[in-house]
Amino acid sequence: MASCDSAVAFLDIRPVFKGHVLVAPRSHVVTLPDLPSSELAPYFGFVQTVARAVETGLSAGGTFVAINNKVSQSVPHLHTHVVPRTKGDGLRGFFWPRTKYESDDEARSYAEKIAAVMS
């Protein structure tokens, strides 16, 4: 469908909505954390171009852009979903149930655990 030096884009064979595109880097990496920092800007620049094209080309109201890392990742190669959206399309939020923190302290403890390992 489309490509650039760093990535390729093609239609998903089981789309959420017609026009659902997958963008994958040309270099083999399994998850987003595996993508070298030097490839982030070119890759996501292309994802941005595809998202703009999906919205404009399909007269969509917007797009839903998502990546699965390991869990629910049906193919062991990084890929980004670009799904066309329209108001009233029936897609509501995320595809899984939502939860709540028991308290602000619990939320803070999760944030601190994540921040502690960021470099």
Taking residue 24's Cβ as centre, other Cβ atoms within 10 Å add up to 18
Burial class (CB in 10 A: 0-12, 13-18, 19+), 96: exposed
Catalytic residues: 79
